[in-house]
């Protein structure tokens, strides 16, 4: 009885699936999915290497400082960095005094010490990076109806994030003639910019790194677009995970200990079982 019921229930599900499959298969053979411009022209991020990659990866503080400079002088006009506090910058090798000076260069929402009213005041090391726009509406109004996302976690919030940021910043180009020929309706709308690394190929951010020498590096590194893109991507790896270096270092110590403990455990297991065939 139980088995008859079971077979009936089984038939119910299998027949329903066959039905779904049959119709799906029919549609699939008769109406092949239409090709889209995204599908044909979207590119995966370029191959790029960072000092923090790999199991032994370490941050290159020189590079992080350059990347920070790019963020400060270019990206911060539109993008917030809300999970990072000025005090965190000490990890990049800035001294306490330098961090104080950097913080004071930003104005953050605070209280006027004389009137008690809300006011914009100079930042201090415990403050977080301020938002460039008062709210999303203001951000949209200034950016062709798109909100520039917070950058703190950007390299974790996209597949292959660091390479993606680098590719996006260096990937702007004119729309290929091929694309316009096959997909005339996919022409980049006014106010958007063509970039094959962006999921739907057109984004509201104008190329932020537009020419060599846009920032002037203090350490003598030549600030080509490629270099600035790499540096800011490296900086964003750090903002997304300031503990990355500690994680990897701790990891080796833990793995070493566990290997040792496991070998001891295995040896005592062999020893204890040596008199028992099993």
Partner 1 sequence: MSFPWANEYKPSHPFMKWMDEKLPLPRLVYNSVGGGYPVPRNLNYFWNFGFLALICLTIQIVTGIVMAMHYAANTAVAFDTIEHTVRDVNWGWLFRYAHANGASAFFVVIYIHIFRGFYYGSYKAPREMVWLLGVVIFLLMMATAFMGYVLPWGQMSFWGAKVITGLFGAIPLVGEPLQQWLLGGFAPDNAALNRFFSLHYLLPFVIVGVVVLHIWALHIPGSSNPTGVEVKTESDTVPFYPYYIAKDGWAVGAFAFLFAAAVFFFPNSLGHPDNYIPANPMSTPAHIVPEWYFWPFYAILRAFTQDFFFIPAKLMGVLAMFGAILVWFFLPWLDKSPVRSGSYRPTYKKFFWFGLIPAMAVLFYCGGAPAAEPYVMFSQIAALYYFAHFLIILPIVSAIEKPLPLPYSITEAVLGKDDGAELAPTA
Task: Compute the distance between CA of residue 94 and CA of residue 88 in angstroms, rounded to an integer.
Answer: 10
- CB 213 to partner 1: min, Å: 33
- Cβ proximity to ligand HEC: between 76 and 86 the closer is 76
26 binds, among ligand HEC, partner 1, none (CB under 5 to 8 A by kind): none
- CB 7 to partner 1: min, Å: 5
- CB 267 to partner 1: min, Å: 8
Helix-strand-coil split of the chain, %, nearest 5: 50, 5, 45
- Cβ proximity to partner 1: between 115 and 126 the closer is 126
Helices (H), 132-243: 136-142, 161-170, 177-182, 225-240
- Cβ proximity to ligand HEC: between 110 and 132 the closer is 132
If you ran DSSP here, which 8-state letter would residue 105 be given? T
User: Which distant-in-sequence residues (6+ apart) come within 8 Å of 243 by Cβ?
Assistant: none
Task: Compute the distance between CA of residue 44 and CA of residue 167 in angstroms, rounded to an integer.
Answer: 9
- 26 contacts partner 1 (rule: CB under 8 A): no
140 binds, among ligand HEC, partner 1, none (CB under 5 to 8 A by kind): none
- Count of Cβ atoms closer than 10 Å to residue 109 Cβ: 13
State the residues that interact with ligand HEC by CB under 6 A. 70, 74-75, 77-79, 143, 146, 148-149, 154, 158, 165, 168-169, 198, 203-206, 208-209, 232
Q: Is 275 exposed, middle or buried (0-12, 13-18, 19+ CB in 10 A)?
A: exposed
138 binds, among ligand HEC, partner 1, none (CB under 5 to 8 A by kind): none
Backbone region of residue 156 per phi and psi (left: phi > 0; alpha: psi in -120 to 50; beta: other values): alpha
- CB 51 to ligand HEC: min, Å: 18
Contact present, 179 and 186 (Cβ < 8 Å): yes
Of 234-263, binders to partner 1 (CB under 8 A) are 240-243, 246-248, 250-252, 254-255, 258-259, 261-262
- 93 contacts partner 1 (rule: CB under 8 A): no
Contact present, 187 and 117 (Cβ < 8 Å): no
- 20 contacts partner 1 (rule: CB under 8 A): yes
User: Which distant-in-sequence residues (6+ apart) come within 8 Å of 15 by Cβ?
Assistant: none
Task: Compute the distance between CA of residue 270 and CA of residue 263 in angstroms, rounded to an integer.
Answer: 11
Q: Which residues bind partner 1 (CB under 8 A)?
A: 2-3, 6-7, 9-11, 13-21, 23-25, 28, 33, 55, 83, 88, 149, 152-153, 156-159, 161, 199, 240-243, 246-248, 250-252, 254-255, 258-259, 261-262, 265-266, 268-269, 272-273, 276-278
């Amino acid at each position: 009885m139980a088995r008859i019921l079971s077979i009936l229930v089984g038939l119910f599900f299998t027949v329903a699936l066959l039905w779904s499959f049959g119709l799906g298969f029919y549609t699939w053979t008769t109406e092949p999915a239409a090709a889209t411009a995204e599908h044909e022209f979207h590119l995966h991020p370029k191959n790029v290497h960072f000092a923090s990659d790999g199991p032994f990866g370490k941050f290159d503080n020189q590079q992080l400082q350059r990347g920070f400079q790019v963020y400060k002088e270019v990206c911060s006009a539109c993008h917030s960095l809300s999970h990072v506090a000025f005090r965190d910058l000490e990890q990049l090798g800035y001294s306490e005094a330098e961090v104080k000076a950097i913080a004071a260069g930003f104005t953050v929402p605070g209280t006027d010490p004389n009137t008690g009213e809300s006011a914009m005041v100079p930042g201090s090391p415990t403050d977080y990076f301020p938002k460039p726009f008062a709210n999303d509406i203001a951000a949209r109004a200034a950016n062709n109806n798109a909100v520039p996302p917070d950058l703190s976690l950007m390299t974790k919030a996209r597949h292959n994030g660091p390479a993606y940021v680098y590719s996006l910043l260096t990937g702007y180009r004119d729309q290929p003639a091929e694309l316009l020929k096959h997909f005339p309706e996919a022409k980049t709308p006014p106010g958007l910019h063509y970039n094959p690394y962006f999921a739907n190929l057109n984004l509201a951010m104008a190329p932020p790194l537009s020419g060599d020498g846009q920032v002037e590096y203090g350490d003598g590194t030549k600030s080509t677009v490629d270099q600035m893109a790499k540096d800011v991507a490296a900086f964003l790896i750090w903002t997304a995970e300031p503990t990355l270096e500690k994680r990897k270092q701790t990891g080796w110590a833990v793995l070493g200990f566990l290997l040792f403990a496991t070998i001891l455990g295995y040896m005592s297991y062999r020893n204890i079982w040596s008199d028992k065939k099993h």
